[in-house]
C-alpha cells in the first residue's frame, strides 16, 4: 500500500496477524520528535477495555528510526489469535474485504482481515502525529470528534464550530456531546450480537488560504484519497456536503464581507475549500463509518471451496463500533494531506 503526495510518500506494510506492521516514509517535514505526545496520540486509537472495543489488546508502541531522509516505524503485533478464524477458512465474512480480496488474488485464508485490518491504521497515526506537529508549529490545529453513533446525534460543526469540538481529542475524549447515549447505543448493538456505525467530523483552524489547486491539485481530492485509506470509511463530505444537493444557490453560497480590513465569510457551507483550493475559512469535513462488518449474529455466506451456501456465526474479537477508535486516524489522514499541500508551497 503506497501513497504518493507532492512531497510526502509512504508505504504501509504488514498484516493483522503478521509478526509486525509498519510504515516507511520520505519527504516528511522536520519536526522535533516528542515521544510522550506520540504515545498519547497512539493511545487514542488503541483498543480499550470498553463496550465498543475489540478484546484484542496491543501495546502499539512504535520503534522509530531514521536513515538519511527515510523514516521507519515498526509496531510489533503481540496479541495475535488466528485460531478464531480456523472455522472461516474459505468462507468470506459479508461486507469485510474477504470476498473482494479472494477475487483479487485467490486467497482463502481471511485471518484477521489481512492487510485490510483496522490494525494497519496504527502506522498511519505515527505519520499523522508528525504531520500534526508540523502544522501545529504554524498555528494550524486539526481536530476530529465523534458526531454521531447509530441514531444518536451529537456535536456538529453544522451548528457552529465550538472549542468543545476542537479540544475533545486533546482532552482524550472522543465525543464532546451525548457520549453516554452513544455508549448505550453501542452496548445495545453488542448485546444483540450486532454492530453500529457513525459519523466523525473534523475541523482544521488556521490553515492558510490559496493552498491546493484545480484538477489533480485539488485539496479535497488529496484529503479524500487519504481518508479512503481508512477501512470502514464509506463516505466523505466537505462543509454541508451531501445536503448541498438539496439547497438553492442563495442558501448554499457563503457570502464574503470585509470586517476590520480583513476578508471574512458569513458562513461556511463549502467547508473552507473552493475549486480545490483552501479559501482561508476553517476546513470542515465529515466521514461516514460503516457498522463493523464482523458481527456475532448468524449471517448468510458461501463456502468458496465447496461452492455451497452456508450460515456463519463469527467468533473472533471485534469492535462493536469502530467509530471512536477511528477519530485519531481521521486527524492523521487530514494532517498528512494538509502538510503535504503546504510543504509543496515551501521553498
Ligand X SMILES: Cc1cc2nc3c(=O)[nH]c(=O)nc-3n(C[C@H](O)[C@H](O)[C@H](O)COP(=O)(O)O)c2cc1C
Write out the residues near ligand X by the rule CB under 6 A. Answer: 54, 96-97, 113, 116-118, 121, 230-232, 290, 292-294, 318-319, 322, 325-326, 329
- Nearest distance in Å: CB 7, ligand X: 26
Query: Smallest distance from the beta carbon of 294 to ligand X, in angstroms?
Result: 3
Of 101 and 130, which has the nearer Cβ to ligand X?
A: 101
112 vs 176 by CB, closer to ligand X: 112
Between 25 and 320, CB nearer to ligand X: 320
- In angstroms, the CA 22 to CA 44 distance is 18
Closest CA to 161 of 187, 181, 143, 149: 143
State the nearest-atom distance from the C-beta of 172 to ligand X, in Å.
17
Q: Roughly what angle, to the nearest 10 degrees, separates helices 121-137 and 323-345?
A: 50
Q: CB of residue 46 vs ligand X: minimum separation in angstroms?
A: 10
Q: Give the shortest CB-250-to-ligand X separation in angstroms.
A: 37
| Residue 248 half-sphere exposure toward CB, CA atoms < 13 A | 2
Of 54 and 279, which CB lies nearer to ligand X in the complex structure?
54
Dihedrals φ, ψ of 175, to 5°? Answer: -145, 130
Least Å distance, CB 176 to ligand X, is 20
Which of 272/316 has CB closer to ligand X? 316
Which of 15-18's residues contact partners 24+ apart within 8 Å by CB, and which partners?
15/112, 15/114, 15/115, 15/117, 15/120, 16/77, 16/80, 16/111, 16/112, 16/113, 16/114, 16/115, 16/117, 16/119, 16/120, 17/77, 17/80, 17/82, 17/111, 17/112, 17/114, 18/77
| Distance of closest approach, residue 242 Cβ to ligand X, in angstroms | 18
CA distance 237 to 266: 20
- When the beta carbons of 96 and 141 are compared against ligand X, the nearer one is 96
> CA–CA separation, 336 vs 15, rounded Å?
22
Burial of residue 250, with CB atoms counted within 10 A of its CB: 0-12 exposed, 13-18 middle, 19 or more buried:
exposed
Q: Rounded to the nearest 5°, which phi and psi values hold at 47?
A: -65, 140
Whether the CB-CB separation of 284 and 202 falls below 8 Å is answered with: yes
Using CB atoms, what's the residue nearest to ligand X?
118
Q: Is 310 helix (H, G, I), strand (E, B) or coil?
A: strand
Q: 56 or 281, CB closer to ligand X?
A: 56
Q: Per the structure block, which three cell numbers stand in for 145?
A: 470528534
Q: How does DSSP classify residue 169? A: T
Run of H or E including 343: helix 323-345
Using the minimum distance from each CB to ligand X, give the nearer residue, 198 or 239.
198
Three cell numbers written together for 36: 510522550
- Min separation Cβ 79 and ligand X, Å: 13
Q: Which is nearer to ligand X, 239 or 328 (CB)?
A: 328
Instruction: For the CB of residue 326, give the shortest distance to ligand X in the complex, in Å.
Output: 5
Amino acid at each position: 500500500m503506497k501513497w504518493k503526495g507532492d512531497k510526502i510518500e509512504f508505504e504501509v506494510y504488514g498484516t493483522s496477524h503478521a509478526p509486525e506492521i509498519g510504515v516507511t516514509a520520505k519527504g516528511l517535514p522536520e519536526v522535533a520528535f516528542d515521544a510522550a505526545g506520540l504515545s498519547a496520540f497512539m493511545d487514542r486509537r488503541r483498543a480499550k477495555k470498553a463496550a465498543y472495543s475489540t478484546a484484542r489488546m496491543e501495546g502499539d508502541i512504535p520503534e522509530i528510526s531514521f536513515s538519511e531522509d527515510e523514516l521507519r516505524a515498526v509496531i510489533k503485533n503481540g496479541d495475535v489469535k488466528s485460531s478464531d478464524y480456523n472455522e472461516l477458512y474459505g468462507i468470506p465474512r459479508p461486507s469485510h474485504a474477504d470476498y473482494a480480496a479472494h477475487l483479487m488474488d485467490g486467497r482463502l485464508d481471511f485471518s484477521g482481515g489481512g492487510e485490510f485490518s483496522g490494525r494497519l491504521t496504527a502506522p498511519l497515526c505515527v505519520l499523522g502525529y508528525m504531520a500534526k506537529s508540523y502544522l501545529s508549529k504554524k498555528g494550524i490545529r486539526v481536530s476530529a470528534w465523534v458526531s454521531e453513533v447509530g441514531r444518536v446525534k451529537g456535536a456538529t460543526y453544522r451548528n457552529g464550530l465550538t472549542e468543545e469540538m476542537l479540544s475533545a481529542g486533546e482532552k482524550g475524549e472522543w465525543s464532546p456531546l451525548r457520549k453516554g447515549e452513544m455508549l448505550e447505543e453501542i452496548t445495545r448493538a453488542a448485546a444483540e450480537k450486532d454492530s453500529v456505525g457513525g459519523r466523525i467530523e473534523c475541523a482544521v483552524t488556521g490553515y492558510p488560504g490559496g493552498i491546493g489547486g484545480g484538477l489533480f491539485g485539488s485539496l479535497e481530492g488529496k484529503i479524500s484519497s487519504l481518508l479512503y485509506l481508512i477501512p470502514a470509511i464509506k463516505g466523505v463530505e466537505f462543509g454541508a456536503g451531501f445536503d448541498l444537493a438539496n439547497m438553492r444557490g442563495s442558501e448554499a453560497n457563503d457570502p464574503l464581507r470585509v470586517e476590520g480590513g480583513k476578508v471574512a465569510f458569513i458562513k461556511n457551507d463549502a467547508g473552507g475549500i473552493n475549486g480545490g483550493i483552501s479559501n482561508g475559512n476553517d476546513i470542515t469535513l465529515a466521514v461516514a463509518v460503516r457498522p463493523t462488518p464482523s458481527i456475532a449474529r448468524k449471517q448468510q455466506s458461501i463456502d468458496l471451496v465447496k461452492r455451497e451456501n452456508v450460515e456463519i456465526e463469527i467468533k473472533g474479537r471485534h469492535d462493536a463500533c469502530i467509530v471512536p477508535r477511528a477519530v485519531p486516524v481521521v486527524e492523521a489522514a487530514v494532517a498528512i494531506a494538509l502538510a503535504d499541500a503546504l510543504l509543496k508551497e515551501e521553498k
